[in-house]
Each structure stands twice: as C-alpha cells, then as structure tokens.
C-alpha cells in the first residue's frame, strides 16, 4: 500500500484484501435513493443474477460523492456496535469494495436520472453526458485512482424460487413543518408496539398519508409515496391484480403480533457511566433512531407454507383466511452519527415539545409522561463540540418556523 497525501490511497490487488469491482460485470443499474450521508446505487450481477447495492459516501456540504470515504470505519462500527443488537436474520452484511475513479464517475450519473429507470448495461451509462455525474473528475486529486464503497445484498431480496412479490419499504425519516398536522394519525410507537390493532392503525395511516415515512415498491418500482401517491381505490387491484387478496389482508398478517423478533439485547460496553460513555450511548441511539426497515412480501400458494427451520429457509406467514406470504425484513441505514447530528435531533425534538406546550391536547396521547425523561437525557452540556452547537441552532430555527404555523389538531404526545 502506498500513501499519497493525507486522505488518498492508491491500493493494488496484490497487497490489499479489498475486492476491486468492475461494474461491467453487472447489469440493470438503478438508483435506490440517497440520504445525508450516502448515495445508494443498485445493480444485478450478470452471472449470478444476485442484486446488490453500493453505498457511496456523500460530502454533506456539496451533496456530491466524496473521494474521502470512511468505509472501513463505518464497517467496523456496524460489526462492533450495531450488529449485537439484532439477530443476523434482520441484517445485511456489508463488505468494503473499491472501484476505479472513472467507473464511479460514470455510476454517479444514475442519481440524475428519473426514478425507477433501469439501465441494462454499463455502456448505456457511458453514453450519458458527463455533467450529470455527482462525482466530477475535476474534484478528484490526480493521485487518487480508486474509491471505496460498501457493497451489500439488496435488502428487499427474496429467493427466486418463489413467485412475484409485494415489497413495501418503510423508511422512518424527518418530516417538514408543513406536514405536522398530517403526522398525528401515524405514530411510530404504534407501529412497533406489538399490539396488532395499534400496528394495523399505524400502517393504515401510512397508506393514507405516507409523507416521508413510507414508500411502496412493486417489483422494484415505486408505486406509492409522498411525491407520487396512489389513489386509495387502486391499492387492492395494484397489490393483488389477480384478486386473491386485499389491502386488509396485507395489514393483518398475524405474525405482526410478535414484538420480540427484532431486538437482541446485551451490549456490556454500554454499562459504563463516564461522560464519554454517555455521549457514545447517545450517538448509538441516534443510529438506531434513523435506521430504516426494508420489509418485502410475496404472495405464495398456500400449499408452499412451512415453518422455517433455519435462517437460510424462506420466512413465511399464514393468515387466518388461508393466504400465505413469504417475507424478508432487513434493517438498513445503520450509519454512525456525528455529534452534530445529535444536537440537531435534540433541537427538532425540543421544537415539538414547545409546540405541544402551546396547544390544548383534546385526545389521549399515545405515550405517557415518562417520555419527558428522554428530553432530559438528550440535553447536552453547553461545552459540547462546535458542530453540536451549530445543530442546536438549526433546531431552534425549526421551532420558530413551527410557531408561525397554525396547528388545528392535537399533537400525539402530552405536555
């Protein structure tokens, strides 16, 4: 390995265990989405047919792909801090890969294309204008020849021997102030309560008003979201074109009653009580708070139902009316958070608390007063790093914005 400058690396296959990936070995390229930290691009391997995703690190200020990716740090954080919380069944194991800078420049054109557009081969990407790329070649130092990324299986993947699937993707994200009044009917605490009636109510609310917390995909194509809502009258014929089920069947899967499948507790490292450990606990909690759950379902013949005997067997559920679904649940977006992110989150939360204090609550809240303890715990020392202070300022800007809005319905938490 040879180092060139402070952050650039030039690595050859002979002296590195990291795989060098050639995107020409893949086909059916498409854009999966982006967050504040990553661009996610999907492709299917030409030989194996397995669909994977590449997560390319994003520079927050410019919004472009950065050549200073910290893939190894993110991977270690996943292995040591996040994975112990969950059963391996629900995680997608990432691996660090590298690509030629020129190839990443080409792939970075894909986010500029319309949603759901798939490019069958790499040559189609080469034919696109260079100014579409989110990685301008002029931004990369000459001595940087490869960029690292995280590669992992597509989280919605289900074994091919099953028939066509239905794939709802639930993504918990932030909500703008202009959606505040629409937020009440959906409560994340209901969705993860383990109470079937509450969970069904939350899912129905998401279908009605998805805002930024739900996106519904069918065969990889976005069918229902805040940006492109589907007419409620078309839900059942779209999800069950053969008439073998309805939306209510999808929401009442009896396995939703099991609320203990996801968490596997026991990180002894979190038992420390010093100031540094306290901050580390908050940062880990921020990762869990912002993660996404990719839930995919596929209707299967009732005769194929069987209880999985190992993690490799297809997971199935059977409804009281006889309908059977194969399903896949994966937890993604488990990136480490910076202290700045934590202060921002504190500001957003306090904005909601102050808004609630100004309003009269006329219906029962979905949680009790104990939620106030979270407010006290998240309150950070004023001697925190500068980025935390900056984030707090952004949160307070949100508070002022909300105060200017007319809120006509009660909030979902008590004073």
**Rounded distance between C-alpha atoms, residue 393 and residue 396, angstroms:** 5
| H helix runs in 290-360, sequence order | 339-358
Looking at 123-132, 234-243, 367-376, which range is the least confident one? 367-376
Tens digits of residue pLDDT in 151-165: 988 877 665 554 333
**pLDDT score recorded for residue 159:** 56
**CA nearest neighbour of 162 among 287, 313, 45:** 313
**Rounded distance between C-alpha atoms, residue 395 and residue 138, angstroms:** 35
In 26-162, the DSSP E strands lie at 26-34, 38-45, 51-57, 95-100, 146-153
Q: Are strands 167-170 and 292-300 parallel, antiparallel or unpaired?
A: antiparallel
Full set of structural domains in the chain with CATH? 2-153 (3.30.200), 167-337 (no CATH)
Confidence of residue 254 (pLDDT cuts 50, 70, 90): very low
Using the structure block, give the residue that is written with the tokens 């420049």.
105
Mean pLDDT for the stretch of residues 96-104: 93
The string over 350-359, giving b where at least 16 C-beta atoms fall within 10 Å of a residue's C-beta and e elsewhere, is bbbbebbeee
Mean pLDDT for the stretch of residues 391-410: 69
Of residues 380 and 126, the one with the higher pLDDT is: 126
Which phi and psi (to 5°) does residue 181 adopt? -65, -25
Mean pLDDT for the stretch of residues 306-320: 72
**CA nearest neighbour of 62 among 9, 138, 7:** 138
CB atoms within 10 A of CB 119: 21
Residue 106 scores a pLDDT above 90: yes
- What count of residues does the chain have? 415
Of residues 376 and 390, the one with the higher pLDDT is: 390
**Rounded distance between C-alpha atoms, residue 282 and residue 286, angstroms:** 6
| H helix runs in 240-335, sequence order | 247-251, 275-289
**pLDDT score recorded for residue 270:** 66
**pLDDT score recorded for residue 54:** 92
Cβ burial, residue 198 (10 Å; 0-12/13-18/19+):
middle
């Amino acid at each position: 390995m040879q180092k060139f400058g402070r952050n650039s690396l030039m690595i050859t296959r002979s002296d590195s265990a990291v795989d060098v990936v050639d995107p020409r070995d893949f086909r059916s390229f498409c854009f999966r989405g982006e967050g504040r930290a990553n661009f996610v691009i999907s492709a299917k391997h030409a030989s194996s047919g397995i669909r994977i995703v590449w997560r390319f690190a994003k520079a927050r200020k410019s919004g472009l792909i950065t050549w200073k990716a910290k893939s190894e740090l993110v991977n270690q954080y996943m292995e040591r801090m996040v994975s112990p919380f969950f059963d391996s069944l629900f995680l997608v194991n990432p691996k660090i890969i590298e690509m030629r800078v020129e190839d990443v420049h080409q792939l970075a054109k894909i986010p500029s294309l319309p949603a759901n557009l798939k490019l069958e081969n790499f040559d189609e990407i080469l034919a696109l204008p260079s100014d579409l790329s989110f990685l301008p070649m002029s931004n990369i130092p000459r001595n940087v020849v490869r960029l690292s990324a995280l590669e992992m299986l597509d989280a919605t993947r289900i074994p091919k021997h099953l028939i066509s699937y239905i794939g709802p993707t639930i993504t918990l994200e932030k909500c703008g102030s202009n959606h505040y009044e629409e937020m009440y009917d959906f409560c994340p605490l209901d969705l993860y309560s383990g109470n079937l009636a509450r969970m069904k109510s939350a899912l129905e609310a998401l279908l009605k008003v998805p805002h930024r917390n739900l996106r519904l995909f069918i065969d990889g194509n976005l069918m229902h979201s805040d940006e492109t809502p589907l007419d409620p009258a078309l839900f059942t014929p779209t999800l069950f074109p053969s008439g073998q089920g309805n939306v209510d069947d999808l929401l009442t899967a009896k396995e939703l009653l099991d609320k203990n499948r996801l968490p596997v507790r026991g990180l002894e490292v979190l038992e420390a009580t010093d100031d540094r450990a306290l901050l580390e606990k908050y940062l880990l909690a921020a990762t869990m708070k912002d993660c996404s759950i990719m839930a995919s379902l596929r209707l299967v013949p009732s005769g194929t139902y069987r209880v999985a005997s190992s993690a490799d067997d297809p997971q199935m559920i059977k409804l009281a009316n006889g309908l059977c679904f194969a399903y896949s649940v994966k937890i993604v977006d488990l990136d480490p958070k910076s202290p700045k992110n934590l202060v921002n989150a504190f500001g957003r939360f306090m904005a909601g608390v102050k808004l609630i204090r100004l309003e009269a609550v006329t219906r029962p809240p979905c949680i009790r007063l104990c939620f106030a303890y979270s407010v006290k715990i998240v309150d950070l020392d004023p001697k925190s790093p500068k980025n935390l202070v900056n984030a707090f300022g952004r949160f307070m800007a949100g508070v002022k914005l909300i105060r200017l809005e007319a809120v006509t319905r009660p909030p979902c938490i008590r004073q």
